[in-house]
Structure 1
């Protein structure tokens, strides 16, 4: 999933003239350039205790980043295009971008004295809480607060359909689909039709809740009710097909995550063309079973949260770091950053949207962690938690900062959905 998530904040390199000129100067006009020695590769403690890199190291690292950015452009496009090619080409792009991000993170720490920024895939509540430093006791509060909101039937059904919609969109972009991908497409299409057929019929003269139960029973016994077990069976086969094609492995993880919830409600009726009371009972049963069974570390629960907040199911990938302050380190400042090889406006706007989602998840989980325990059962809206909770002195303060770093970008600030994002140019010391 890393490739499909990071592709939204990367584009083709169009304006690297300044960076390319700097590279040529550093290389002395030749083609070999400065010999580049990577930084420390040990654990976090070794990296923090290592002496700061020399000026020469930064110059060599800068030249290396320019070459990495140029290789992405020269390969015919960014990660989105690579995903449609061979598995080997995709892996090479991912490796190059990971190296670019690692080097850019060091420049960010040097230029802005930011805390160490680590590549973080926000794919579960546990990972989000790790960044925020939420204690084990408060993580239970997070789950109890979020579950009643995100396990509502329309959220559950919408998330399932979005997983399938996302998958089919990426499979349609595959240049040469494998036999496994073709099978996955057929299963996904059948599953999508099943969900559509069991939804409220749009062509009906009246909605299902207005149709009373027939007084006279039919002469023949009614067909067996459709249950979520049928969807679970299709998702099981779908996951196997996706796992056979490495290009779709990220989608296989997401399909497998949703299987966790499907297993818990496999005996619940799916059909919507039933009387209102029965439909409502089935909806409540879905919410009850999911709320009880999905644990804090569940990727299924986190997928529902993403759909609840943003209508998307793709995990967010950022570089994140935190700084603690105040008495007992209760105040937390989270730095979330993304690194661009391209400085054009579409790439910056895409990065801003990705960072906005990351900051929104951090803010939502922080408020959930500090919500009053007595209000968990009554939470039913996104804004409910912002008005509850203990005072700032009791729970501490959360400050969120979004930063975008790139080669050749214009230094500026971008306002988006109530947050201000800082755009920085990666510069030589």
Structure 2
């Protein structure tokens, strides 16, 4: 996609909007400001008709120039196809469109209802801590979340698959970039390719479609001594070099964060053998060692643990970018209603379905963590082996209501059902 908007046009648009601030005579200004309380939100004067017209005009201009671009970490990508967009200003413009669209939708809802709805804040669901902050999960419940999540997502095939997904996403974005790669980026590409080959070579035997450890070891052992066992330390060294190479690649910041996250887990299991060409019993022992070390070492705030959870649930490692608002009700504020929203710059069907899929992932994460937080987990020790006893905590469990809303320019307003959840598609229009 071409970068159509000219800097001069954007500067003139910014200057015009600064003359039309909501509730004053100076206009919209998006400089960072301290977070306001709910009472301050209620007391804010409604925006003027001129503000709505100016903001809507700017949204239309951004929608035309972006043409369905979504920025969800790493390179800006097309919302429909998922391919990277070769425009250096697209990321900043997409973020500005999201901020203005959230402000516009909230103001329009307040104008029609007479009171502002829950404020929607841009949130990057990049760790379990972020998710728990949205849901209001207590410190004690977060321990239950970790004890519930770790045994499921630290399995060997999930761990290896997440590593390969991180490398695959990085390689795809570097290959699709139209810019002349810097020496650091070229080095990162070579390291990522070497690491992918290493994981592929040690996953399955080349002579069979089944893993070599599923076949019995030969009765007669070869005369020559076996090669030295390869350990996860080799992968850790490659990821450390990859992280250093990505430090100077600004457009690959999202991938650099994922590499750093997986490096945390690699450091914990660096002494475990990575070879798969071994007998079944030894392979099972290695799998159990990987799972046990990761379960014990990855804390609740670990981005590595959250990346494994994303891969476990959806087969992807990309963080989810959404706008989130929350309402609490019921006795003790135990009942929580979460509004998750995405804003599209295009109204084509592929972009709508992509937005619905991202919203579904976000709601699924909220539901999963909510259920884990309301499960009592007692760690037991039986003959030196860790076990987790789970009991539903029905007495303190509240009610979680999840709502998904998709807003876009020129979209058809409708209700869609995806994986059992109902999503509302709205058109951004003047109130």
Matched with 1:427 is: 429
Question: Conserved in 1, the CA contact under 8 Å of 2:232 and 2:273?
Answer: yes
**2:162 is aligned with 1:168:** no
Structure 1 residues 406 and 84, CA, compared in 2 at 3 Å: closer, same or farther?
closer
Contiguous gaps of at least 5 residues in structure 2: 4-12, 21-26, 110-115, 381-385
Structure 1 residues 317 and 263, CA, compared in 2 at 3 Å: closer, same or farther?
same
Q: Distance in 1 between matches of 2:119 and 2:29?
A: 14
Question: Conserved in 1, the CA contact under 8 Å of 2:235 and 2:266?
Answer: yes
Report how far residue 420 of structure 1 moved.
0.6
Which structure has the highest helix share of the two? 1
Matched with 1:97 is: 94
Q: Which string of whole-angstrom CA distances, capped at 9 and with x for unpartnered residues, describes residues 36-76 of structure 1?
A: 4215752222662432322322222112212222332499x
Question: Conserved in 2, the CA contact under 8 Å of 1:61 and 1:103?
Answer: yes
Matched with 2:314 is: 310
Structure 1 residues 213 and 332, CA, compared in 2 at 3 Å: closer, same or farther?
same
Matched with 1:53 is: 47
Matched with 1:190 is: 194
1:351-366 equivalences in 2 (<5 Å):
351-366=355-370
Matched with 1:119 is: 122
SS in 2 for 1:297: coil
TM-score, structure 1 length as denominator?
0.84
Q: Bigger CA drift: 129-138 or 201-210?
A: 201-210
Structure 1 residues 349 and 145, CA, compared in 2 at 3 Å: closer, same or farther?
same
Question: Conserved in 2, the CA contact under 8 Å of 1:12 and 1:73?
Answer: no
1:147-162 equivalences in 2 (<5 Å):
147-162=150-165
Greater RCO structure (CA 8 Å; 6+ sep): 1
Q: Distance in 2 between matches of 1:33 and 1:244?
A: 35
Q: Distance in 2 between matches of 1:372 and 1:79?
A: 41
Question: Conserved in 1, the CA contact under 8 Å of 2:204 and 2:212?
Answer: yes
Report how far residue 239 of structure 1 moved.
1.2
Structure 1 residues 84 and 341, CA, compared in 2 at 3 Å: closer, same or farther?
closer
Aligned pair partner of 2:77 in 77, 80, 83: 80
**2:419 is aligned with 1:417:** yes
Report how far residue 372 of structure 1 moved.
2.7
Aligned pair partner of 1:68 in 50, 62, 66: 62
Q: Distance in 1 between matches of 2:174 and 2:194?
A: 15
Q: Distance in 1 between matches of 2:421 and 2:200?
A: 38
Report how far residue 374 of structure 1 moved.
4.0
Q: Distance in 1 between matches of 2:248 and 2:17?
A: 41
**2:231 is aligned with 1:227:** yes
Report how far residue 340 of structure 1 moved.
1.0
Which structure has the highest strand share of the two? 2
Q: Bigger CA drift: 98-107 or 280-289?
A: 98-107
Q: Bigger CA drift: 141-150 or 180-189?
A: 180-189
Aligned residues: 391
